[in-house]
A and B are shown apart, each in its own frame.
Chain A
Amino acid sequence: MNTFFKKLKNEARHIRMSTGEKARMRAALFGVPSSAQVVRTPYVFISPPALLRGRWVTRSFAAVALVAVLGGGTAFASEGSLPGQPLYGVKVGIVEPIKVALATTPAAKATVNAQIAQTRVEEAEALAQNGALDATTSQMLADDFDKHAQEAQTAQAQVAAENPDEGTKIEVAINSSLQAHAAILTQLAARDGERTRTLATFLADKVAARASSTAEVAIEDENKASGSDASTSERMISVTSAVRTDAEATSSDQEHKGGGRDFSNLAAALKDRAAQALEDAQSALADAQLSASTTVQIQAQLSALQGLMDDGSAALSTGDYAGAAADFKAVLSRALITQAYLSAGQRLNPDIVAPLLQIHDRNHGDGNSGGGDSINSHD
């Protein structure tokens, strides 16, 4: 296919669902019981056959009644509301409980609760960005975040017990989101006044505490590597090393217990998910309004991740499934985190992206995007 058609295809790649649209569709589809039909409102499913089954009646009629009273438009309009705004009560008191009620499988419960936890954090980020975060709101957001994060992790553990490979994929998604948002809140805390700094740091600590030990090891190693001026590829290698060590330790531990895990399926599943996440990160970068210098450096980071994908594929071809799984897991985690940072840049402020990704933005001269120290400041 010649250059024009490649460019045409690339141009069209910008046409995609927003993160919110995709999340709503995902939650609606995978919290649905069998034989469901679509009701023409934003992504609320009611199942006519299910209405005849006793255990669904109360839940389904409640959902129908609430949607009928509110109208699909109100529910939809409440999606972006923040604490203190008129529709926020609709969002947290009606729309979100309906989504939770309609999530019937452990995987759907993990997804929906993780999304709601993430929404609480994004609300905190928006308020912090505007200097509008107060102690009462912080505590409310932290408590609700904790509640839904706990539900998500409990559901993820149930999935992992039945299907370890699927559990791993969900765990990586949840932990990547937690890592990214802890960093975003920390970055916001570094930029603003004392009150915002204190409250944002409080929330950042809450979020970071939820991340798994594997993720914490990866962050620690990555920060060590970045402190020593390591190149991007060296940082990636140190992250991979931490994750790979953990994966091999888990594998060895299970073998000693007589329950060796088959990593071949996990490696294949993680490969697909990692490839998609890397592609999504490329698209997010194409959409981001960043300086040329920052864009080039992020592209270099994504190219390093592609190199890790190639390493994983090589490991797969030699039968080193645990190693391949570790590589793909590292790529998936990093690609999801990069997407979260780029999304934060669009939601909040493009200047936040460079320090989050440990990039020196030459357009800003000193690499710092605001007053005060940041965790990733460069000298």
Chain B
Amino acid sequence: MRDLQVEFGDAFERWSDELFRHALMRLSDRDKALEVTQECFLRTMQYARSGKVIEQLRPFLYRTLRHLIIDEYRRTKAVSLEAMTESEDGPTLDTVLPPDESNTLESAMERFDAARAAGLLTTLPEPYREALTLRYIDGMSVPEVAAIVGVSENVVSVRVHRGLKKLKDLLEHE
């Protein structure tokens, strides 16, 4: 069995920056982002050392990080978990988007400056900020985002679509 220290050392070298980036995009506070990133690795290492199996380490780290970010939100903003996970999605989450609509919206983003967009992305409300960060900053596919967030792929598509619309509005009116 490969030494856990070595395995997590490699994981740290590969993914610590992207996990930190994700935390910072979500929390907008560098110290807190550093803290949750470190805690994420620590808790995952403890989980593995307890003998439990981790099938895929990268998504596991993202899920752990997500929980820590939610804990941080609760600590500082007193926001309910339900508010963070539903927002304007409403009780019916199985909206299926016509394929053309998302493609058109993505194409419409071409004319905007990516640097401004990255900054404005951090001002979006949750869960759109999370969905867009995972999808376009962390480079995950819709199924991967769904697995990390724990919702259906349709929900992810809706959140990405609505998040892009909000981002586009911000870019047009800034």
Contacts and interface: CB of A to CB of B under 8 A. Distances in A.
B137 A12 contact: yes
A22 B17 contact: yes
Given A29-B45, A166-B6, A4 B112 contact: yes
**What is the interface of chain A mostly: helix, strand, loop, or mixed?**
helix
Nearest to A265: B2
Interface in B100-118: 106-107, 109-110, 112, 114-115, 117-118
Contacts of B10: 269, 272-273
Interface string B112-149: 10110110010000000000000011010000000000
A35 B3 CA distance: 16
B27 to A, nearest CB: 12
A8 B5 contact: no
B87 interface: no
**What is the interface of chain B mostly: helix, strand, loop, or mixed?**
helix
A36 interface: yes
A10 B38 contact: no
A11 interface: yes
A2 B118 contact: no
Contacts of A36: 42, 46
Interface residues of B, number: 38
Given A15-B21, A163-B3, A166-B6, A21 B118 contact: no
Interface of B: 3, 5-6, 8-10, 12-14, 16-17, 20-21, 24-25, 34-35, 37-39, 41-42, 45-46, 49, 106-107, 109-110, 112, 114-115, 117-118, 121, 136-137, 139
Interface string A11-25: 111011100011001
Interface in A25-46: 25-26, 28-30, 32, 34-38, 40, 43, 45
A128 interface: no
Contact of A2 (B3, B45, B107, B121): B107
Contacts of A40: 35
Given A29-B45, A272-B10, A105 B5 contact: yes
A358 B10 CA distance: 32
A28 to B, nearest CB: 7
